[in-house]
Chains A and B, each alone.
Chain A
Amino acid sequence: MRVLIAMVRDRFDIVIVGAGPAGCTAAYLLAKAGFSVLLVDRGRGAGSKLLWGGKAYAQPLRDIWPELDREAPIHRWVSRDRFSFVWGDRVLTLEYKLGRKVAFTVYLPELVSWMARKAESVGATFIDEVVIDEIIVRDGVVYGVRSGNDIIRANVVVDAEGINRMLLEKLGLASKPNPYSLSLGVKEVLSLDSKLIEERFNLDKGEGLAWLVAGDITKGIPGGGFIYTMRDSISIGLVLSIGHAADMAEKGLLKEHVSSLVESFRLHPYFRVYWREADIIEYGGRMAIEGGLSYMPKKLYTNGLLVVGDAAGLLVNTGYTIRGVDTAVTSARLAAETIVEAHNKGGFTEDNLRAYEEKIKRSYIYKELVEHRGIEDVFRDQFFFTKFPALATRIGAKLFESDYEEPSMLRALLDSAREEDISILRIIYKLGRVARKL
Chain B
Amino acid sequence: MRIIVGIKWVPNTQAVRFDPETGTLIRRGVPSIVNPHDLPAIELALRLRDSAGGEVIAISMAPPPAVKGLELALGMGVDLAILVTDRVYAGADTLATSYVLSHTIRKIEREYGSVDLVIFGQETIDSSTAHIPAQVASWLEWPYIYYVREARILDNKVVRVVRELEEYIEEYELETPAVLGVAMRSLKPRHVSLSNKIRARFEKKLIIWSNNDLKLDTRCVGLKGSPTIVAKTIDMPEVPRRKEVYKPRDARDAARWIISRMLEDEKLRELLQRTLWGVKS
Residues on A close to B: CB < 8 A? Answer: 1-2, 4-5, 7-10, 38, 40, 44-45, 125, 127, 129-130, 132, 147-150, 152, 191, 279, 281
Contact = CB atoms under 8 A, between A and B. Distances in A.
12 contacts: A1-B2, A7-B202, A9-B199, A44-B31, A125-B201, A129-B72, A130-B192, A147-B193, A148-B191, A148-B194, A152-B195, A281-B28
B197 A127 contact: yes
Contacts of A40: 194
Contacts of A7: 199, 202-203
A370 to B, nearest CB: 39
B29 A4 contact: no
Interface string B160-202: 0000000000000000000000000000000111110111011
Interface in B1-28: 2, 19, 21, 26, 28
A424 B245 CA distance: 61
A38 B198 contact: yes
Contacts of B246: none
A398 to B, nearest CB: 41
B195 to A, nearest CB: 4
B121 interface: no
B168 to A, nearest CB: 37
B143 interface: no
Given A129-B72, A130-B192, A281 B29 contact: yes
Nearest to A38: B198
Nearest to A191: B28
Nearest to B21: A279
SS class, residues of chain A in contact with chain B: loop
A9 B21 CA distance: 53
B193 A125 contact: no
A125 B198 contact: yes
B55 interface: yes
A130 B21 contact: no
Interface size class of B (residues with CB under 8 A): 20 to 34
Given A147-B194, A152-B198, A279-B21, A44 B68 contact: yes
Nearest to A10: B195
B197 A130 contact: yes
Contacts of A132: 194
B277 interface: no
Contacts of B201: 125, 127
Contacts of B21: 279
A281 B26 CA distance: 9
B113 interface: yes
A48 to B, nearest CB: 8
A101 to B, nearest CB: 28
A51 to B, nearest CB: 15
Given A1-B54, A45-B68, A279-B21, A8 B195 contact: yes
Contact of B198 (A1, A2, A4, A9): A9
Contacts of A1: 2, 53-55, 113
Given A1-B55, A2-B55, A2-B112, A129 B192 contact: yes
Given A9-B199, A125-B202, A130-B197, 20 more contacts: A1-B54, A1-B113, A4-B55, A4-B79, A7-B199, A9-B198, A44-B31, A45-B68, A125-B201, A129-B75, A129-B197, A147-B193, A148-B193, A148-B194, A150-B195, A152-B194, A279-B19, A279-B21, A281-B26, A281-B29
